[in-house]
Each structure stands twice: as C-alpha cells, then as structure tokens.
Amino acid sequence: ELTLYETEFEDSDPTLADWKTFAFSMDKKDFVTVGYKTWTVNGIYRFEQEVNTRVFAIYDKDLGTADVDISARGGAPFEGHGGLGLVCRYSEAGWYQFMVEPRGGVWTIRLVKPDENGQYHFHIIASGGKWLGQKVDLRAECKGDRLTFYIDGEKMASLHDSTFPTGKVGFLGWSFAIGDDWNTVDKFSARRAQWNETGLPGPAPTPGADGTIYSTEFAKPDDLNPYWSKIDIGIQGVPGSPVLVGGPGPSPHTYQYVNDFDPGTDVEITADVRGELNWPRGLICRYSEDGWYETFYMKDDSSHARVALVLGQRDEQGKLTRYIMDTYYPPKADGSIKLTLTCAGNQISVKVNGEQALYTEDNTWRTGRYG
C-alpha cells in the first residue's frame, strides 16, 4: 500500500490524537510552551502564534520508512502573516522543512539542526519565488538523500542532502512581524516515496506466484505507452552527449525506456536482445535522474561482439558520464542473446544465455527504476 497515512482533520478522526505540537521562538531563540495554540474545527487544522514563532505539528507515529512523499493543502499565507510548510525526517537531531512565505511568493527548503552549543539554526539550502493563489498544494519527496519540493504540482527544486536519513513527518505554521492566525491546513497525506521520474501510471508492483513483477513480448504496438517512459538523452557522436543506450531503428539519438514504478531495491531483469553492428542494446536497473547501472550487447563485426557492465553517473553540473566497469567477449557474435541484469544489494551481475558473465560489487545506486 503506497498510502501510509492521510487525514482531512474531521472531528471524528481518531488519529488526531497521534499528533504532537511544539513551537520555536526566533526572538527567544529557543523552544517555547506558551504563546501559541493549534486546534481543528470543521475539517481544518488551524494555527495561532505570537510574533516570529514557528509552530510544528508532527505525526508522532512510525510510518515504517523514511522514504516518504508528503503533501498538504492549505490556505496560502498573507503578507506579513508568516508561512506554511511541510516537515520530513523529524527527530530531536533536526529535520528538513519545505516552506512557502508571502513575501512575493518566496519558497525555501531549510535544514534545521542544533550547533555544538545546542542552539537550533534554520539553514536555507534552496530558495526561489512563485506567486500563490488563495489555496496552495505543497508536496515534498524525501527519498534516499534526495529532497524535492513541489508547489501546486510544479517542481521547485531537487537536491541532495544526507544529514537526516530517518525521522517523522508533519507540517508547520510560521509567523513573522504580525502574530498570525491565518495558517490553515485542510488535508495531509504521507505516501511511500516511489522512485518515479515521470508521473506516468504504472502497473502495481505486485509479484506473481513466480516472483515476476512485469513481463511483455511487445506484441502490441502501444505496449510501451501506458507503462514506460521514453527518454531522449543525447545524440551519438556529439561532444558532451552520452553514447547510445538503446532504441529502435536507425536513429542517432540515445533512448532509454524506463518502467515507471518502483520495483524495490533488488530486481532481476531478463530480455531477448538482438545484436546489431555498433548499436548497443541492453538493460537498465536502479535508474534515476542521477544515474543507473546498465548492461548492453553489441556486435563489433560479423564475428565479434561484446557485453559490457556500465555505471551511469551525473555530476553536480548535470553532465552525465557512463563508465564501463567490466566487459565480456562472447565466443561468437550471435544474432540474439538472452541477457540478464541482476541488482541485489551491492552485487551487480550479468548473465548471457543463463551463464554468469560479469560481476561487480558497487554501492553507488541503491534503488530506482528499471528499463
């Protein structure tokens, strides 16, 4: 089940007792127990706090995973009346918060943690601007070390930080120069984060009796459409572009086909791959925007072929590099082979026609899509 928790704050909701609140005064630079209150009425969670106070509501239950996709719908803050935000990975050691503020539609992602003297600081690690309507939908993904913030369905930022690997979820109201009672939330949900890069619908990751998550023989012309994302990531031979991963026909572009749901951390993928002269075709596991593992089969000429195991990795400037980790040279260049890529823990291996061909241990990518 992807949904871990959700509420619309109805008075009859028994889970409202599972929330805890606390407040931090920026003027006093400390947590406070007075000068604020929270309550629910008619399906709305309301905040009221004194000047320059941040009030947090934390769902005080273990969701069973730190990789979460949380969202809240509420009233956008008015000028001078503070802000509204989401919280993930909360613990006494610190947390991440994703805020909208009224000053021209400012948004921020903040890392909150105490210094060596125990004083808490709210470090801005990303910020920008977006005009807000009367209502606002906030969404934050905290998966692995990636933090992604969405406002009204639009991605604002996606960045990496590994300070807090675990913790709880919640939301907050925030006042500035005016004591605030405008911050409201009328819906909150927490879902298991999927390693979804496209938003496409996908088949539910429910294995069959034999453990198969998904299979296809590509018999229908539109078989890829409902479940797969086609990604064009460059042109072969152009400096700075990656070399070909795979794709149909005589196109010079680099195409990847990624099945858009989360198969879990360990997966075995098998495909019947046709060998083409100078056209590598193969399999991908643990795919995300940041990188992946792949194996490909390619003919060098009519008598010689190769199978490679590759690590794809994007640097901080966004440049993608594919590193060949190992290569296997089959005894002959078959027209088609059965290629298997297994990603289990830190063990990445390749079989050709059922026989072990390549193996490495690597911890770069722990989860992601396949294709």
Indicate the Cα dihedral angle 219, 221, 223, 225, nearest 10°: 170
Question: Of 192, 218, 248, which marks where a domain is finished?
Answer: 192
Q: What is the DSSP letter of 197?
A: S
Q: Please tell me the predicted confidence (pLDDT) of residue 315.
A: 75
Question: Of 192, 214, 244, which marks where a domain is finished?
Answer: 192
Q: Are residues 8 and 148 in the same domain?
A: yes
Output the domain CATH number for residue 327: 2.60.120
Output the domain CATH number for residue 154: 2.60.120.560
Question: Lowest-confidence range among 39-43, 81-85, 101-105, 201-205?
Answer: 201-205
Distance CA 110, CA 123 (A): 5
Question: Lowest-confidence range among 77-81, 174-178, 273-277?
Answer: 77-81
pLDDT digits (tens, 9 = 90+) for 120-178: 999 998 888 888 877 889 999 998 888 889 999 888 888 888 899 999 999 998 876 66
Give a yes or no: residue 209 inside a domain.
no
Mean pLDDT of the chain: 82
Q: Are residues 44 and 163 in the same domain?
A: yes
- Identify the bridge partners of residue 305 per DSSP, sorted by sequence position: 299
Contact 306, 327 (CB under 8 A): yes
- List the structure tokens of 21: 């609140």
Q: Are residues 65 and 182 in the same domain?
A: yes
Question: Lowest-confidence range among 112-121, 172-181, 238-247, 308-317?
Answer: 238-247
Give a yes or no: residue 207 inside a domain.
no
Give a yes or no: residue 197 inside a domain.
no
Nearest Cα residue to 100 out of 34, 16, 173, 22: 173
Contact 341, 269 (CB under 8 A): yes
Provide mean pLDDT across the span 94-123: 89
Provide mean pLDDT across the span 273-293: 88
**Residues near 241 by Cβ (< 8 Å), separated by ≥ 6?**
233, 234, 235, 254
pLDDT digits (tens, 9 = 90+) for 222-271: 555 556 666 655 544 443 333 333 334 444 445 667 766 666 778 899 99
- List the structure tokens of 153: 């369905």
Q: Please tell me the predicted confidence (pLDDT) of residue 237.
A: 41
Q: Are residues 233 and 187 in the same domain?
A: no
pLDDT surpasses 60 at 5: yes
Q: Are residues 156 and 296 in the same domain?
A: no
Q: Please tell me the predicted confidence (pLDDT) of residue 238.
A: 41
Q: Are residues 163 and 267 in the same domain?
A: no
Cα end-to-end distance, the chain, whole Å? 23
Range of the domain at 264: 228-361
Percent above pLDDT 90 for the chain: 47
Domain count, the chain: 2
Nearest Cα residue to 44 out of 23, 72, 64: 72
Q: Are residues 158 and 303 in the same domain?
A: no
Give a yes or no: residue 333 inside a domain.
yes
Provide mean pLDDT across the span 343-347: 95
Q: Are residues 243 and 183 in the same domain?
A: no
